[in-house]
Amino acid sequence: MSASDNQVIQSLPQLLALQQTAFRSEGPVSAATRKDRLQRVIDMLIKHCDPFCATMEADFGGRSPVFSMMNDVAGSLGSLKHARDHLDNWMQDQTRPSVQPFDAFGATAWVKYQPKGVVGIIGTWNAPLFTLLSPLASVFAAGNRAVLKPSEIAPRTAELLQQAVAEFFKADELTVVQGGPAVAAEFSKQAWNHLVFTGATSVGKLIMKAASENLVPVTLELGGKSPVIIGTGANIANAAERIAVGKGANSGQLCVSPDVVWVHETELETLLTEIQSVYQGLFPTTADNIDVTPIVNERHLDRVSSYVKDADAKGARIVVAGDDNAAHRRLPLRMVVNPSADSEIATYEIFGPALVIRTYQTLKQAVAEINAGERPLALYYFGTDSSEQAWVLDHTLSGGVSLNDVVMHPALHDAPFGGVGASGMGHYHGHEGFLEFSHARSVYSAGGHDPRREWGMLPPYSEQFAQMIRGAITP
């Protein structure tokens, strides 16, 4: 562990205490304060958007600034602006039915939504701004303070984010800490009022275990082998184009990237040919193409390459889409057809420019095999048969769904984004994100008259009251 990491680790308890003290001293967090915090994040992103895109390009070794501007900057801004523009309504107390028969004497009830306190947010390298600032929109809308921990795999972006946040915020309101795995491990052990983590399922388990020591509630956005189901009546050309576009985004280094495509065996060759054609049009060259995002580092390059080599060695068919002249960690798309169940690419989330293609004879067979695995973060269906679509939705479970497209539902700012089971828990975005980071506090207010004594409802209990209670025990 480096000296700088050790210094950050030593400072974490003091930093958390600083924010918690400020939170308690502040009292109720007004809508104006929440909007101001959200607006300052928006202003920060707008001011530094080009430098941020430059750091992400450098961290990836050549990621297109256009993609970074679209995915991380514009994506984060969408979350922040939606929260800013809707939090007034979200903050309102919710009237609830009171206790009978006391409501007849003026008793009322409501739910009050209050901030939890200080939230820790651990982001990831594949979307180094979005995975921090999109959940932050919900955190700030709920009235909390926050500490951000960017990924050390994108160090230039982390450094710029730390500087930019310090320019717009005091440390007791929002701050950034940097460091490697040791810092992330210690970060997850702190007594946050809520903890957010985006990353691998294996790490998510460690995060949750560490958080449990302080009973810290967690929001985990993980991943999994997000499947695509191409229905029996689907337009194969359209499905191929949407899949190629979605898989080409960030070279498959997205948590909701398509991982396994299920297609009827009679449509396999058409699908492969169509994906090849579309991918070649999107990325006519590979090695020197700024639009082809490099694999983030050599370790991940070796990991993705080993998945394909292992499948090849075990007899799978490999079909290449795009220019095969790979260099500078840029790879074409490799489609792995019907790999063996024990192959690495069939076992682990790919998170790179490779795609498993599996054939089915019946749709029920495909759904059964999907359901035999862990629940994914995303599921995609292509087809025009509304009854078949409804059947797929009713017989599968995933974090979210896109129909006749891929990777689009996370862009819904007014709908929850998150996983289920091995793909995560909790969610952010929209009203549900506000609720995630708020404490829903039930409030009962008594009326002006309490009839319990005159009705014999207090000890010593009368036989008349006992019979009245017994009479209330009904189906």
Q: So which residues are the catalytic ones?
A: 221, 255
Q: CA of 226: how far to CAs of 40, 211, 456, 471, in Å?
A: 35, 27, 61, 53
How far is residue 6's CA from residue 2's CA, in Å, rounded to a whole number? 6
How far is residue 133's CA from residue 123's CA, in Å, rounded to a whole number? 9
The residue among 259, 71, 152 whose CA lies nearest residue 63 is 71
**Bridge-based pairing state of the strands 260-264 and 400-403:** unpaired
DSSP of 377-389: SEEEEE-S-HHHH
**Bridge-based pairing state of the strands 354-360 and 260-264:** parallel
The SS3 assignment for 263 reads strand
The residue among 244, 242, 194 whose CA lies nearest residue 220 is 194
Residue 58 host element (H or E): helix 31-60
At residue 453's C-alpha, the angle toward residues 451 and 456, to 5°, is: 105
Residue 404 exposure: Cα atoms within 13 Å on the Cβ side: 12
User: What's the DSSP call for residue 74?
Assistant: I
